Amino acid sequence: MQQFAKFIFLRIWGWKIENTVPGHIKKCVIIAAPHTSWQDFPVGIFTKWVCGFPANFIGKASIFKPPFGFLFKALGGTPVDRSKSANLVDAIIDIFNSKDQFILALAPEGTRRKVATWKTGFYFIAKGAKVPVIMIGLDFEHKKVIISEPYTITEDKEKDFKVFYDFFKDIKGKHPERF
């Protein structure tokens, strides 16, 4: 599958990938941005296939219904009812603590629309599970996926978010006006 993904993504679609998720990382939270288009999803899936890391994701429950629900689950997805906040952060921390290996990919914006501030769940998940954050930029302008080194959350939330925002500030999503 990896060779096929490389052929499609790198050769036919013409994308490049800078860096990869280090092989020694068994648990982490990946934040992928800018999330401005449905096309971010296939770019993310091909990135995980090309690089060979087993990322999981959560998504709104409606995408997991027929006819395509089985596909999203097979690709590593778990449905979430966003109308119930029944402490999703703690539930995901419990998943991290119960597994030897778990990589969770999230869009920090939480939507494809332009937002004033990012959701903070990814931050509190990483902090609570004591796992690093890896930032993945989806640069449609240059057809490039940029993967950061693992970042360890500090006790200074403002400093941490500055690191995150600085990483993504010059990356152009499919629809830059939405980021």
Q: What is the pLDDT of residues 130-145, one digit of tens each?
A: 999 999 999 999 999 9
Q: How confident is the model at residue 63 (pLDDT cuts 50, 70, 90)?
A: confident
Lowest mean pLDDT among 17-31, 53-67, 94-108: 53-67
For residue 84, what pLDDT is reported?
Answer: 61
Q: Where are the domains of the chain?
A: 2-178
Beta bridge partners of 145: 17, 138
Helices (H), the chain: 2-6, 40-51, 69-74, 88-98, 121-129, 157-168
Give residue 29's pLDDT. Answer: 98
Q: What confidence category does residue 37 fall into, taking pLDDT thresholds of 50, 70 and 90?
A: very high
For 75-112, what is each residue's pLDDT tens digit? 888 887 766 656 888 888 988 999 999 999 999 987 78
pLDDT for 85? 58
Q: At a CB cut-off of 8 Å and minimum separation 6, what does 73 contact? A: 64
Q: Model confidence at 58, in pLDDT bands (50, 70, 90)? A: confident
Tokens matching residue 102: 């778990």
